[in-house]
Amino acid sequence: MNNSVIIIADSRKTVKNSKKSTSMCEVLFRPVIDYVFQAAEKADIGNICIVDRENLPTVGSHYDGKDTVVFLQGDKPFIDADSIKNALRMHIKDDNDMTVISDESVGYCINTASIGKTGLKKGIYVSPNENIGISADTGAELNRISEIMRRIILTEHMNNGVDIPCTDGIIIGPGCKIGCDTRILPNTIIRTDSSIGEDCVIGPNSYIENATLGNGVKFANSQIRSAKIMNNADIGPFVQIRPDAVIGDNVHLGNFVEVKNSVIDTGTKVSHLTYVGDSDVGKDVNFGCGVVTVNFTGKTKHRTVIKDGAFIGCNTNLVAPVTVGENSYTAAGSTITQDVPDNSLAIARERQTNKDGWVKKNQPYRKKI
């Protein structure tokens, strides 16, 4: 006997006052039907396919009498693998033609030879999962489902050793991995299969999407998307880490720093008010306040290379493509347009000129001087 799973999606059934179907509305950033599919995968009982309800009557023609199909409704996010497996076991053991999973609105097992026939031998498997039949037809019901799912996921993480002293505003999406003794603080959102190591402190007020964080990371009041942070980095507050960035071990990124498509190596410090884009930054580099890697000409983007041990002075503009050599300095206020050799000081600013009496002569202020 061959077993398979068919997930029924009903594109015509929508959430009230919404264009999204009840199968495609989102719970914790994922369509409801994804949860059903995930449960079917974990049940590991055969091939899985998704069929719109309009095409359901033609399904029976693709099977023979030796097949058993588990039909699952695509708008029931709390369907679980154990209920699917146990219902199928009962179906086979009792030699039923059809076995309902708690309620037909949840799902059922059926021998394909019995499809369309009457007088079937029926059974019902009553799942201990009290949420299994919940679906959302309104926004308020969807909110209720999201809150139940949020609590379930948080409880799983806490039982696995994650420290969540207060759950206020914390949303962790399905599929995220968090190591033991990591502390998650309020108003933190973690989503899209992100992975966080052990002994981290995440939050408060932080956003993590499709990112990997190593062990011992501190990440406060900051955001990261599609990027990676290595071990023991100290990030925040108000840091934006954009896609394709790699932040090395023991790196410090301070307030109002943005990093995009760049590698920042071990021990480098970027303390405040700095943009690092399309750059390769070495070890133990120090960035002064207000540094900008000028990576875009308006037509093309270029990379900046800063080698180990360099010191980038406050308000330096590094106009790419440009390289700053090992242990080199750039003077504060410089606009660097040419490569800086190793162990050198680069100064790129005009000599200061003072014009005595200029203010009294030109009276630039509202109040007369």
Dump pLDDT digits (tens) for 148-203: 999 999 999 999 999 999 999 999 999 999 999 999 999 999 998 999 999 999 99
Q: What pLDDT, on a 0 to 100 scale, did the predictor assign at position 56?
A: 65
Active-site residue (options: 91, 252, 272, 302): 272
Q: What pLDDT, on a 0 to 100 scale, did the predictor assign at position 104?
A: 81
Looking at the predicted structure, is the pLDDT value of residue 269 above 80? Answer: yes
Q: What pLDDT, on a 0 to 100 scale, did the predictor assign at position 369?
A: 87
pTM of the full structure: 0.90
Q: pLDDT tens across 40-86, in order?
A: 999 998 899 999 887 666 655 565 556 899 999 999 999 999 999 99
The least confident of 1-5, 133-137, 307-311, 352-356 is 1-5
- Mean pLDDT in residue range 213-240: 98
Return the sign of the alpha-carbon dihedral for residues 33, 35, 37, 40. negative
Cα gap 197→233, rounded to integer Å: 12
Measure Cα distances from 3 to 40, 78, 95, 144, 227 in Å.
Answer: 12, 22, 14, 34, 40
Q: What pLDDT, on a 0 to 100 scale, did the predictor assign at position 351?
A: 87
252 catalytic per annotation: no
Asked if 267 contacts 309 with a C-beta cutoff of 8 angstroms, the reply is no
DSSP character string of 280-343: EE-TT-EE-TT-EEE-B-SS-B--EEE-TT-EE-TT-EEESSEEE-TT-EE-TT-EE-S-B-TT
Share of the chain above pLDDT 70, in %: 96
Structural domains of the chain, ranges and CATH numbers in brackets: 2-125 (3.90.550.10), 252-369 (2.160.10.10)
Share of the chain above pLDDT 90, in %: 86
* Upper half-sphere CA count for residue 80 (Cβ side, 13 Å): 15
Residue 202's closest CA among 110, 212, 103? 212
What is the pLDDT of the chain when averaged over all its residues? 94
